[in-house]
Amino acid sequence: MNIFRRPDYKSEVTQFIEQLKGKKPELDKQQQAGRALLWDKNVDRDVWQDYRAGRVKQKPYVYYSYSDKQA
């Protein structure tokens, strides 16, 4: 027997989420559809490689206006 175990404890947040999912069973599918809009994208690695190759190195202190002699 574990002395730290809290028998059948569920936090208020967990209870709320379980109740919400019980009332709206379509909620999981809506969440997955929303995630697919923003995050689940196919990445074209060749395009990203070209993008990274074309980056210009930033100067150490960007707020200082360098003249042609100092740069």
| Residue ranges of domains in the chain | 12-53
Give the distance between the most distant pair of CA atoms in the chain: 76
34-58: pLDDT as tens digits: 999 988 888 899 999 999 998 888 7
Other C-beta atoms lying within 10 Å of the C-beta of residue 17: 13
Task: Name the one residue in this structure whose structure tokens are 């999912």.
Answer: 21
The candidate with the shortest Cα–Cα distance to 62, out of 52, 54, 53, 71, is: 71
Cβ neighbors of 20 (< 8 A, separation 6 or more) are 27
5-34: pLDDT as tens digits: 777 889 999 999 999 999 999 999 999 999
